[in-house]
Structure 1
Amino acid sequence: MRAVDEVVEQPATPEAETPPVAARWRRADLWAPLSYLAIAVVVMIQLWISPSGRVLSSNKDDHGFFLYVFAHGERVLFHGANPLFDDRMNVPDGVNMMANTTVLAITIPLAPITHFFGPGLSMVLALTLGLFGTATAWYWVLSRHLVTSRVAAWIGGLWCGFAPSLVSHANAHVNFVSQYVTPFIVWQVLRLREPGRAVRGGIILGLLVTLQVFINEETLLFTALALGAFVVAYAAMAPRNAKRDARHFLAGLGVAGVTAGVLLAYPLYFQFTGPGSYHGQPFLPDKYSTDLLSIGAFARQSLAGNAALTRHLSVSGTEDNTFFGPVGLAMIVVSVVVLWRSVAARAAAIAGLVLLVVSMGPALKVFGWNSGIPLPFGLVSKLPIIDLVSVTRFGMVAATISGVLLALATDRIGGWPARRRRWFQVGLVLALVPLAPKPLPVIAADPLPAFLTEGTWRQYVAADRTLVTVPLPEVTTGRGGMRWAALTTLEYKSPRGYFMGPVDPPEDETGSWNAPRRFTSDLLWRVREYGVPAALTDADRAKIRNDLIFWRAGVVVLIPDSRNGDALLTTLRDALGEPRMVGGVEVWDMRSLPVPPEE
């Protein structure tokens, strides 16, 4: 049996690279991907019914952001826009797209779909293919290199692609759902130990790393840390083998580093030093961390999940990063016991445990209660790069490694007596069935007004003007404005937006989910939040006028049925005068305002 210990611990030979003819094509290799595709469609089915008319209710803000991201990809391919920077949102400053999770390796290939059918279809397609592709990629690597049983490989792919962590991130997180490059990165790293593969293997790995950067850098960081922990643990337990393979391994890593470094030098330079770059996150590391009890609980989107209980154990519906269930957790432990003689399997288990502990943040949290017990993450939380990560997401690594261990253990028990094998199989069923994913919940989104669909906006917004929606596009307050801009594939420019950028450059370049504060944005946020019209002075009206000039406003539009819309309307009337009803929306013509010169 080609278990993981044989694959990793024994020197590879050229003959080992060619699988037996019988293993190249089996019926399972067709049915496994089809089953994954069916499950992925079930998870996303409610969004498939109306991709542009519905919004994922557990993550409405990021849904709007990723619609914007797909619209940007369309502009890159069809309008020659800069892939690393966008000047259509947050006018006049723009958005550093490399410093945001803009999944360029997905949005640009799907740009034709976005162009002809809209970003809503591209987004639901990307989420579905992300779940399907992640499961299929792990099935492929497991079945070709680590296990002989197709059932074992199917179970591994099922867990890695549809674990509660992936299903929860399917709530609009296209970047985290799309992990189909990760298994090939892992396998290429393990193959670097083979003699004669330093150049070829290093180049392939460098190309895969480059591709992953344009899907999700956080996943790449997690993968690198997990592999690092695996290598250290393996070397400590099998120093002779590690010493034997070190020269080939390090040479391959060097080639991979050079390859990726050459290809990524400018994009990463732009990300960390270009316009709109930032440092750190707008929250403390202990705000989003893994609760100890979440490890054995059920996620809200699992068949056995209870949303009311899960809310006490998870920061949001998109961050159920562990939630293995009680039997699932027990089966992970059993799998480690089954594989204990394999040094490589033990090293993988250690790597998963290390990242799981890291995901708990600087202090242990139990059912929402901060125990104050210090944890290792507190020692590294302020390191560069680490300070850009939401710490609970390290738990996704433990989830993926658990799927690999389950597959290896399922393969290993194939030689057991029937009775012992049956007990293990029963345990797998009891673990997997309660974790089966439910369709993600959605809500209906307001249709675009005729002002947009009929193109009336064009007479107000010339090439150098913007369309200012109220509420302004902000995190938690401007989903309508972001969605309007995205569904029109960024044909018009908008001020502000929901994205990551510096909070107040150049004085404060800490990361923020909003554009730098201005008088008008703060005022309109308060009105929308509290429902009290602003009592404006002449000085206030002058500040509002100056902000509209700064934003290069051509027209101000009140989004219908906004929260506290009457208070917003009263405030805008006081500031700008009486609106006109045009194409189903109330508008204020701002074309008489001067346009500041472009810098």
Structure 2
Amino acid sequence: MRRFVPFSGATLAAYVALAVAVFSSAWQHPAGRWVGQDFDPILFIWHLRWVPFAFAHGHDPLISDYLNYPDGFNLMWNTSILLPAFLLSPVTLLLGVVVAYNVLATLALALSAWCAYFALRRYVRPGPAAVGGLLYGFSPFMFAQAQNQPHMTLAVFPPLALLLLDETLVRQRRSPLLVGALIGIAAGFQLVTGEEILAATVLVAAIGIALLALLHRNLIRARTPYALRALGAAFVVALVIGAVPLGVQLFGPQHVAASSGPVQSRGTFILDAAELVVPTRREELTFGAANDVGAKFKGQSEIDGYIGLPLLVLAGFAVVAWRRRPVVQFAAGLAAAVTLLSFGPRLTVAGRTLPLPLPWVIPQRLPFLENILPARLTLFLFLLLALLVAVFVDRSRLPPLAVAATVALALVPLIPDLPFASSASTTPRFFEAGARAVPDGSVALVAPLAGIEGGTTAPMLWQAKADLRFRMPEGYVIHRSGGFTAPQSRLLLFDRIARLGNGERVPPLTGRQRHDIRCTLQRFDVGTVVVGPMRTGRTRTIAFLRQVLGHAPATVGGVAYWPSVLRLSRCT
């Protein structure tokens, strides 16, 4: 134990240092750049600011009308990272929301790797476990998701579930109530961190339990009483922690009806079978022909399943060499099942979908499970591969240098394309200074529109940087309809601004249309209109709003600004 604690601390420090190094393009200017791309991350940046703001001002953190005003939106139906946002509140308030996002993105990889290390310690020595943790926490899956989705890279729950379920189903040495309580606490915390990982873990765990029972049928009777007590305790504790969040999600304001279907279209974000062995633009070691094949993969934002032939060969060797070890049998069987599910409802090879139905056709029709993206199940594949690699390092009779060289040969192809992408936090001075000209808590219409219609999320960043001083009738959120398209996008005001922001030409307004738009402004309680930087159409957008409001805007801090709009836009 005295040697274990220092080694574990050193392992965590090494993982953190590696994550900082990979994300160095953001850490060179941590308040001015964030890790990853420039669309989805702003959603998480907004949530990092919302949670401390909600607690400080007495708002319900699970419901907000600061976006999509006046209807608001249900944060439990959105990737709101409530627990991480709460824990990072001191960083957000002291150093700023962009720094907090970079801390989240960096620690997500390091902590995921560290938890995998702890889980693998149950089966191998510390050194091999550290190698396995490295593979899990810094896998192609993690680097692909780090571009946009920190709720997926903060993947500490799957290895913790592996560790705790091993105790529940196999070892059974500690109190079942204690073990069950720990499972329930972990599941409850995961609920308010990222529901997709929770749902996916439950699915994979159910398959794992069935596989374990199949492999060890003679032990079912002896192990069942303990397991039932532990899992019963886990359910009760998880329900206590998650009762309020789940109640809000299922029955609260702006909840999504079960009949709405999945948020994302089925069959898009799947694992292409060729992706397992074909490197893409996301890897450092790729080439033209491979990139041509990779360009055919569906769901380009979810290309995260590259394993590479060397790692596949190494894992296959471990399975054959130590096939009599129960943990190897289990890892190999579950890895095969997870891979099959990751393919989605139909097998796709190099972009070509074959008429071959696969097991995913079943869970894609079940509540909650239908919103899991099959491609993201490769997270569990990398955890199981990490276990097999750790077994190889731990059990191999090769000289240490030969083992190190073999593992390096398997892992080097997984190095991501460097330098890792980062995005500039470009915010007009008007918002950086707190948007003091906007009445506190009032509604401001900001162009370009934040969301799918406007093709940007930048106004949400500006709102967060202004400490949420104002509400917006727009936002990149999941609406009650179950999609990202806002109901108000059909209204002429929002339709015109979106089209102008996309570079389209629109016909002049008629007198009746101008009247209707003023009524829309009044109906949404818009007190201020602001036009910030836009990729295209800014001049035409300002001209359009000038025609609606009847006078030219003021130019303040890099924005065009109309105050007192409620007085100007009376619908009479």
Counterpart check, 1:101 vs 2:79: yes
Equivalent position to 1:312, from 286, 296, 314: 296
Match of 2:535 among 556, 562, 567: 562
Q: Name the residue aligned to 1:8.
A: none
Q: CA deviation at 1:49?
A: 2.3
Residue 445 of structure 2 aligns with which residue? 468
8 A contact 1:533–1:571 mirrored in 2: no
Q: CA deviation at 1:213?
A: 0.9
CA deviations on 1:60-84 (whole Å, 9 max, x unpaired) are 2111101101011221343332121
Letter in 2 for 1:226: V
2:564 corresponds to 1:586:
no
Measure how far apart 1:292 and its partner are.
Answer: 0.7
CA positional deviation for 1:203: 1.1
The Cα of 1:40 is off from its aligned counterpart by 0.3
Shift of 1:422: 6.5
The question of whether the paired residues in 1 share the 8 Å contact of 2:35 and 2:105 is answered with no
Tell me the matched-pair count: 558
User: How far apart are the structure 2 equivalents of 1:353 and 1:141?
Assistant: 20
Aligned partner of 1:384 among 363, 367, 372: 367
Does structure 1 residue 341 correspond to structure 2 residue 324? Answer: yes
Larger mean Cα displacement after TM superposition, 247-256 or 554-563: 554-563
Alignment pair present for 1:170 and 2:146: yes
Aligned residue for 1:469, secondary structure, equals strand
* 1:78-109 deviations in Å (ceiling 9; x for gaps): 33321211222211111211111111111011
**Match in the other structure for 2:314:** 331
Shift of 1:560: 2.2
Identity among equivalent positions (%) equals 25
- After superposition, the Cα gap between the structure-2 partners of 1:166 and 1:515, relative to the gap in structure 1 and judged at 3 Å, is farther
Structure 1 position 283, deviation (Å): 3.4
Report deviation, 1:314.
5.5
Paired with 1:98 and 1:212, the residues of 2 have a C-alpha distance of 12
Pair 1:187-2:197 in alignment: no
Task: Give the equivalent residue in structure 1 for 2:504.
Answer: 531
1:409 is aligned to: 392
**Which of the numbers 6, 10, 14 marks the counterpart of 1:35?**
14
Give the Cα separation in 1 of the matches to 2:415 and 2:505: 46
* 401, 406, 414: which one aligns with 1:427: 406
Q: Give yes or no for the alignment of 1:571 onto 2:571.
A: no
| Change beyond 3 A, Cα 1:180–1:392 | same
Aligned twin of 1:146: 123
Give me the whole-angstrom Cα distance separating, in 1, the residues matched to 2:112 and 2:264. Answer: 30
Quote the residue 2:379 is aligned against.
Answer: 396
1:159: which partner in 2? 135
**Which residue pairs with 1:517 in the alignment?**
489
Task: Verify the 8 A CA contact 2:521 2:569 in the aligned structure 1.
Answer: no
Q: CA deviation at 1:340?
A: 1.3
Selected match of 1:442 from 414, 419, 422: 422
* Aligned amino acid, residue 270 of structure 2: S
**Counterpart mapping for 1:237-256 below 5 A:** 237-256=215-234
Question: Which AA in structure 2 matches 1:45?
Answer: S
Farther-moved stretch of structure 1 (216-225 vs 191-200): 191-200
2:92 alignment counterpart: 114
Residues 391 and 544 (structure 1 numbering): CA distance in 2 closer, same or farther, change over 3 Å? Answer: farther
1:205 deviates by: 1.2
* Residues 288, 305 of structure 1: alpha-carbon distance in 2 compared, 3 angstrom cutoff: same
State the 1:425 CA deviation. 4.4
Q: Distance between the aligned counterparts of 1:78 and 1:510, measured in 2?
A: 30
Matches within 5 A, 1:42-61: 42-56=21-35, 59-61=37-39
Q: Counterpart of 2:527 in structure 1: which amino acid?
A: G
CA, structure 1 residues 133+184, in 2 after alignment: closer, same or farther (shift >3 Å)? same
Shift of 1:514: 4.0
- The AA in structure 1 aligned to 2:448 is P
How far is 1:198 from its partner?
Answer: 1.7
Please, what is the CA RMSD of the aligned residues?
Answer: 2.3
Q: TM-score, normalised by structure 1?
A: 0.88
SS of 1:340's equivalent in the other structure is: coil
> What one-letter code is carried by the residue in structure 2 that aligns with 1:186?
L
For 2:501, the aligned partner's letter is R
Distance in 1, Cα, partners of 2:134 & 2:509: 58
**Do the aligned residues in 2 keep the contact of 1:139 with 1:157 (CA within 8 Å)?**
yes
The 5 Å alignment of 1:252-271 reads 252-271=230-249
In the alignment, structure 1 segments of 5+ residues that lack a partner are 1-20, 503-508
Letter in 2 for 1:270: V
1:440 aligned partner, one-letter code:
F
Report what 1:6 is aligned to: none
Deviation at 1:300, TM superposition (A): 3.2
Secondary structure of 1:500's partner? coil
Q: Find the residue that maps to 1:50 and give its secondary structure.
A: coil
The equivalences for 1:365-380 within 5 A come to 365-380=348-363
Aligned match of 1:16? none
Q: Residue type matched to 1:285 in 2?
A: R
Structure 1 residue 441, shift from structure 2 partner: 1.2
How far the C-alpha of 1:594 sits from its partner, in A, is: 7.3
Any idea what SS the aligned residue of 2:555 has?
strand
Distance 1:497 1:240, change over 3 A: same
Distance of aligned partners of 1:300 and 1:35 in 2 relative to their CA distance in 1, 3 Å threshold: farther
* AA of the residue aligned to 2:147: N
Give the equivalent residue in structure 2 for 1:292: 273
Q: Which secondary structure does the structure 2 equivalent of 1:511 belong to?
A: coil
- Return the letter of the residue paired with 2:556: V
Q: Answer whether contact 1:230 1:348 (CA < 8 A) is retained.
A: no
Q: Is the 8 A contact 1:234 1:343 kept in 2?
A: no
CA distance 1:445–1:255, change in 2 (3 Å): closer
Distance change >3 Å, CA 399–CA 248, structure 1 → 2:
same
Asked if 1:235 corresponds to 2:213, the answer is yes
Distance in 2 of aligned mates of 1:400 and 1:535: 58
Q: Which consecutive unaligned segments of at least 5 residues does structure 2 have?
A: none
Name the CA shift for 1:417/1:96 in 2 (closer, same or farther; >3 Å). Answer: closer
Cα gap change, 1:593 to 1:92, in 2 (>3 Å): farther
Matched to 1:298, the amino acid is: P
**8 Å contact 1:85–1:94 — kept in the other structure?**
yes
